[in-house]
Amino acid sequence: MTLRNLLLRAYPRSWRDEYGEEFAGVLAQKPLTLRVVADVLGGGFMQHLFWDDPWKICGAGLFVWTCLGLVLIRDSRLAPSMEPLSAMALGCFLLATGAWTVLRKKSGIREAGGAAAKAAMAGIVPSVFATLLWGPVVVHHANGSTWLVWGLFLSVIPVPSIPEAGRLAGHLAITCSLMVLAASAVMGFAGALLGRFIAALRGGLREAGPC
């Protein structure tokens, strides 16, 4: 596979099906300088935003956030604040998934809930693996309490013994995934309602026209 073919694959499949042959012809006539490669990759990123399913984009954003959070949570100074921040970020990503799905695809509330669930599962994968591979992180809060934190989305108080915590890791990873899956459906439904409200607001503004 040539570099030009790899660059073409930076664009979404649906976009390539419609414009790929024409774009490949244009790309074949250009020397592959660093600037051209950067422009093609930047264009591919933008087309993913316009063509990909919203759950894929939001799921990718949540995946990156989770990876960053897992790095930061290893720092004892940052760990106490990471779990609430992660919960808020998760809610925002899932709410956006539901709203965006309704606005882009004109789908119903059930489809928006399913899209949010898929985004959640894609986004928390690093946290689940961290739970299984690392085990818990001991976090000492400012109020004197001590928590055991698994990944980014689950913590336990009072603290069990470390061997007991290790035996619980697999069970807790599954429990956390199921909890996030249920919460994601709810947030997806809420996002769908938000998307319908935005769509109605847009329609009203268009009908009103310029003042």
Q: pLDDT value at position 168?
A: 60
- List the domain boundaries for the chain: 3-49, 54-208
Calculate mean pLDDT across residues 153-182.
Answer: 62
Q: pLDDT tens digits for 23-74?
A: 888 888 888 888 888 888 888 877 777 777 888 889 989 999 988 888 887 7
Count the neighbouring beta carbons within 10 Å of the beta carbon of residue 34.
7
Summary mean pLDDT of the chain: 78
Q: What predicted TM-score, i.e. pTM, was given to this entire model?
A: 0.68
Q: What proportion of the chain, given as a percentage, has pLDDT over 70?
A: 77
Helix (H) or strand (E) holding 137: strand 137-140
Q: Tell me the pLDDT tens digit for each residue of 94-130.
A: 999 999 888 887 778 888 888 998 898 888 888 877 7
Helices (H) and strands (E) in the chain, counts: 8, 3
Q: Which residue has the tokens 């603290």?
A: 159
Cis amide bond preceding 158, omega within 30: yes
φ, ψ for residue 2 (rounded to 5)?
Answer: -80, 165
